[in-house]
Amino acid sequence: MTNWIAIFVVELAVIAFMIWIVWSVAIGAPWVPTSKSKVLTMLKFANVGEGDTLYDLGSGDGRIIIMAAKEFGAKAVGIEADPIRQMWSRLMIRRHKLRDHVKVLRGNFFNFDIGDASVVTLYLGVSANNKLREKLFKELKPGTRIVSHHFLLRDWEIAEHDEKADLYLYVI
């Protein structure tokens, strides 16, 4: 009997995990975190500094927003659809005592105004980037830098390309 309960619990966990993966892909991009060394490269590439307000669209576990505030003195906002990762990043923000500088909003980034950003970071996918172009162009101020990890913003002029790090910089 105990064996059956254990099998049932494991099956349930596997199904829940699969639903979570499919959902992640459906909303725009699954969670594949940028390595911490690449986050550092990304933030240097975008020339992030104290006067900046950085938005990470699809902020995952919050590593980009935390590093932007901690190492570069920027204000940072993450938007994340996954409640588990959003909760985790809130814990990390608290642990690093960054609550005055970093916040993470839960939901679909298409539903939030990002007009006060001076830097936007992306690590999403082809289709999410394609859909985002209109929003970025409409809401962001001239001069705002966008760094995209791996994925292009189709038909946009690339300001800089770091081939080794696989990063693209765009300026509105």
Ligand X SMILES: C[S@@+](CC[C@H](N)C(=O)[O-])C[C@H]1O[C@@H](n2cnc3c(N)ncnc32)[C@H](O)[C@@H]1O
CB-based contact 120:57 (threshold 8 Å)? yes
CB-based contact 72:52 (threshold 8 Å)? yes
Give the interface size with ligand X as a residue count (CB under 6 A): 25
Q: Is 27 an interacting residue with respect to ligand X (CB under 6 A)?
A: yes
Residue 73, classed as helix, strand or coil, is coil
Cα-based angle 34, 24, 42 (whole degrees, multiple of 5): 20
Among 14, 15, 32, 91, binds ligand X (CB under 6 A): 32
Q: Is 34 an interacting residue with respect to ligand X (CB under 6 A)?
A: yes
Among 20, 31, 88, 156, binds ligand X (CB under 6 A): 31
Task: Enumerate residues 58-117 that contact ligand X by CB under 6 A.
Answer: 58-60, 63-64, 79-82, 85, 108-110
First CA to last CA distance, the chain: 63
Q: Is 123 an interacting residue with respect to ligand X (CB under 6 A)?
A: yes
CB-based contact 84:55 (threshold 8 Å)? no
Q: Between residues 134 and 157, which has the closer beta carbon with respect to ligand X?
A: 134
**Tokens representing 140?**
């962001």
Q: Is 48 an interacting residue with respect to ligand X (CB under 6 A)?
A: no
Enumerate binding residues for ligand X (CB under 6 A): 24, 27-29, 31-34, 56, 58-60, 63-64, 79-82, 85, 108-110, 123-124, 128
